[in-house]
Chain A
Amino acid sequence: MANTLTGGRPGHRWDGLGVPEITIGTLLERIKTMAKKAESTVSSRSSQSPLSQAGKVWNGAQILHQVLIEEGVEHIFGYTGGAVLPIFDVLYDSPIKFILTRHEQGGAHAADAYARATGRVGVVIATSGPGATNLTTGLATAYMDSSPVVAITGQVRTHLIGNDAFQEADVTGITRPITKHNVLVKDIKDLGHIIKECFHIARTGRPSPVLIDIPVDISSGKIEGPIDTEMQIPGYRPRFKGHLRQIQLAANLINESHKPVLYVGGGVIISQASDLIRQLAIKANIPVTTTLMGLGTFDETHPLALKMLGMHGTAYANYAVQESDLLIAVGARFDDRVTGKLDTFAPHAKVIHIDIDPASISKNVKVDVPVVGDAQQILGELVKLVEPNPRTDWLEQIEQWKKKYPLKYDTQSNTIKPQYVIETLGRLADGDAVITTGVGQHQMWAAQFFNYTTPRQFITSGGLGTMGFGLPAAIGAQIARPDKIVIDIDGDSSFSMTLVELATIAQYKLPIKIALISNTFQGMVRQWQELFYDRRYSQTKMYLPNFAKIAEGFGIKAIVVTDKNQVEDVIAQALKEDGPVLMDFHVEPEENVWPMVAPAKSLHEMELGRLA
């Protein structure tokens, strides 16, 4: 069913309480009106919702299911277990489609990627104890990359909580630092409004995972309607609108600047502001560099595109940032992988920082003009206020850097270069595929050598750097975008961590293409050992299985590629295939990712490696 509520833009965001001094009485009044307002916009249907009918008897699982339907949930990922039996019982004949992953971590990654591919909330269910603890890597991954996931876990009976009961774990305790909010439901009366609140919290403000822990006696317990679904979260007021005065100050700085750079992160994708970034960049001739999470916000084939910055960013992006007199950070957070040594990051630049999360501002660097709010709204105002400016000298300088320091690799080599595989994938998929990755060198090459043109096209674990993300993420992305070619560009070691999800791909006949960059190493760690530990390859050489046979065992077609001259044909053939295909590219084992800013070095001290 179509539901605009779970679309990219939240149905409603609460205004800030802009008044410094208020009493609890007035506060409560405002809370009530806000809750009413929110309720009426968030779900105009709730008045007709069967939950509001008097006399109807519900069990907890049915309430959960009804709210999920009203929230527009169409797909759920996860795994069964004793503490979620009542929930799976209502899912048995539900219109919601369930995707049974083979491990809860896979379910969480899939839900996360589903959210990243669409902007809708991804939902995952797991049982108590081990089911819930298996979710944690997935939740932490989603948390670090601000992805809206609602996790529903079963819990032991309320009277057993705290008794070390069978399959009991303190799940709200364990997940507190990796969720935006979590709740243990202690009374069936609260279930309805808690679930509503959790969806609202997950998708608004800075989106993030939220967890609801439901004891099995609550999901099986009964209660008579009407069910309370009115949200009770007076403390939750994400700020939506940026201050006009701040936006004007930002515009002034931009208009005065000679060498500005737009530094764009994943927040722009979340707020669907890519188009405005393009308008701003083009109107004022501002070059654009993106973080790993921001890839796709700005068409990388555009002349103003600098591609990615940071540790493995392009030389021209890093030089541009270091030379700039103004850095316009939008939906980015000055992560250490981006800034290198902080004291010498963009040494000549003033900083404008646009972000929905006030805590992101002035966390790492001093900001001259902070603007807190939704990037789309703020950029909308900002675009009107900036003046056109040719900035000929600056763009000329950048053009020279681009000519002098392009991304390069040895195209003459006889072995298969991983960069060549990715470049070819990009060329043949016409730049129009959804890419997921594991973590490591292949992830960086996927960021460097594939030209991203649209938002939500590149799905990767940026903040946490979770190996094993690629394959289950491809599942979530393919379920969310059945119309798209989804390619998991994966490392042999990353892939090994979650390859059991091949079974899920086979079961649901998902036409995912897997491009394994098999270098027989945990390549990224090996690169650091090569550069900083005297080539002492401690525990990074992999003993690998025959991945093709494994895939075939799961009923998935596989092709092993050992010859450079086959690469193009194999990819072309795989992309035409209706079903899933695993391509196992046996690449140059000791290739390195360049450029590289060594740890604790400044961006301009980056090593160009063999490119120079």
Chain B
Amino acid sequence: MSNINKENKPTKNILGVLVQNQPGVLAHVAGMFAARGFNIDSLVVGRTEDPSLSRMVIVTSGDQATLEQIRKQLGKIVTVVKVRNYSEQECVERDLLLIQVHCPPEKRSDLFELTNVFRGTVVDVGSKSLIIQLTGTEKKIEAFIEVCRPYGILQLSRTGLIAMPRAPHKTGE
């Protein structure tokens, strides 16, 4: 017999967790992660098309056994209605970034151009800085942050990932 905790490399996992829209649900979910020593990379909660339900998108990491435990332990929480593993299917994934970059007037056009390349939007222009908004996959967001870094990042805020599985059969495939 083998010890389950001695296998596999850590991987990232995206879970879609449908929960009852009730006070205390977030505490139950966050408390379970804390009590069992599981990681949360990001957690986003929002309303759904049904007012009695909310959806959490949780990005976690761990080895296979840990991820399996996370899914099962989530499933045990009474107010959790359904747990889906988004990593097992093709999903649209989006993160939203707001980033304030140091930007004297002479650098504005550079940054505007960069923002365009990444299909971001400048949402605020100050005398020495810009706020840029960008949505996309985590990879894209991270790439953009790296591009901004040389200019001087004053503030940065991200929503964390939300995701939605694509329709099972795409036309044209």
Contacts and interface: CB of A to CB of B under 8 A. Distances in A.
A558 interface: no
B31 A358 contact: no
A357 B73 CA distance: 10
B124 interface: no
A181 interface: yes
Q: Which of A180, A235, A343 has the most CB of B within 10 A?
A: A235
A365 B82 CA distance: 26
B26 to A, nearest CB: 11
B66 to A, nearest CB: 10
A612 interface: no
Contact of A176 (B20, B27, B69): B27
* Interface-central residue, B35, B48, B75, B82, by most chain A CB under 10 Å: B82
Interface of B is mostly: mixed
Contacts of A234: 20, 81
B68 interface: yes
Contact of B78 (A27, A184, A233): A233
Interface in A323-354: 327, 342-343, 345-347, 349-351
B50 interface: yes
B24 A24 contact: no
A327 B2 CA distance: 13
B23 interface: yes
A363 B67 CA distance: 11
B50 A24 contact: yes
A177 B35 contact: yes
A364 interface: yes
Nearest to B84: A20
B117 interface: no
Given A177-B31, A177-B35, A359 B23 contact: no
Interface string A10-49: 0000000100010010011000000000000000000000
Contacts of B129: none
Given A176-B31, A177-B35, A359-B73, A346 B1 contact: yes
B106 interface: no
A235 B68 contact: no
A556 to B, nearest CB: 41
A88 interface: no
B76 A357 contact: yes
A365 B2 contact: yes
B15 to A, nearest CB: 14
A550 B165 CA distance: 68
Contacts of A319: none
Contacts of A609: none
A98 interface: no
Interface of A: 17, 21, 24, 27-28, 172-173, 176-177, 180-184, 186, 201, 232-236, 327, 342-343, 345-347, 349-351, 357-359, 362-366
17 contacts: A17-B82, A24-B18, A24-B49, A176-B28, A180-B78, A181-B78, A183-B24, A201-B78, A235-B19, A235-B80, A235-B81, A342-B3, A342-B5, A343-B6, A358-B72, A363-B69, A366-B2
